[in-house]
Amino acid sequence: MLYHCYEAGHAALHPARMTVRSCRLLLNPLNPLTHTVAGRSALAACEVFERAMRRYPRPIFGITSTRINGRLIQVHEEVVWQSAFCRLLHFKRDSSAARAKPPLLLVAPMSGHYATLLRETVKAFLPHREVYITDWQDAREVPLTEAGFDLDDYIETVAMIFRRFEGNVHVFAVCQPAVPVLAATALMEASGEVAVPRTLMLAGGRSTRASAPRS
């Protein structure tokens, strides 16, 4: 995961994107080729390539309230920690009684998605917990003066976030971050740190894959 290769690669692919867009214009309902297997396959391939290379604006969460025991409670989004590669967002509920339970940390994927992919997950947990979420930076926003960001950096970033909660947090890793979250927890546990999360929930990750020996 080397961030700084992204911008140069994106610029180099710009002519290819323009070519793909031109090819898509040729495949329209009036063109007989459009209705063949080859034509449909070519159109689908062009569409996948063009969408993969498109730049998407960062969506907003737009969560301003939640309901707790039937009462409407205001929610304020705030940045409580950040590095060059990640921001930690807190959805603070305006209720002291609502903050009595240990908070929930959502570790969002950084593999091509914004953290707002989990907007509905945040909303679902807010009536029950204070919610924090990792908001990974777009590669274009990372200064070139920063070093690379590999798996070791990913694990250390997760561990630094864990330490902010001093062990009083539940962690929910969604898909891709399951491996670094599990690795960070294991390393912290092995070194005797007290900031290990209370619980881990690993959803859709490849942390427990096993294979049977061939006969």
Paired tokens of 76: 């304020």
Q: Tell which wins on pLDDT, 115 or 148.
A: 115
* Lowest-pLDDT range of 3-7, 55-59, 180-184: 3-7
Q: Average pLDDT, stretch 181-186? A: 95
Residue with the bigger pLDDT between 132 and 32: it is 132
Q: Kindly indicate the confidence band of residue 164, based on its pLDDT and cuts at 50, 70 and 90.
A: very high
Report whether 50 contacts 21 (CB < 8 A).
yes
Report CA dihedral (57, 139, 158, 209) to the nearest 10 degrees.
90
For the chain, the structural domain boundaries read 5-53, 65-203
Give the model's pLDDT for residue 214.
Answer: 46
| 157 pLDDT higher than 80 | yes
pLDDT at 2: 42
Query: Looking at per-residue confidence, does 74 or 58 come out higher?
Result: 74
The tokens describing 149, both together, are 């960001």
Residue 78 CA to residue 92 CA, distance in Å, equals 7
* CATH number of the domain located at residue range(s) 65-203 in this protein: 3.40.50.1820
Sign, Cα dihedral of 174, 177, 182, 188: negative
Mean pLDDT of 132-147: 84
CA 32 to chain centre: 42
Q: For the chain, what is the mean pLDDT?
A: 82
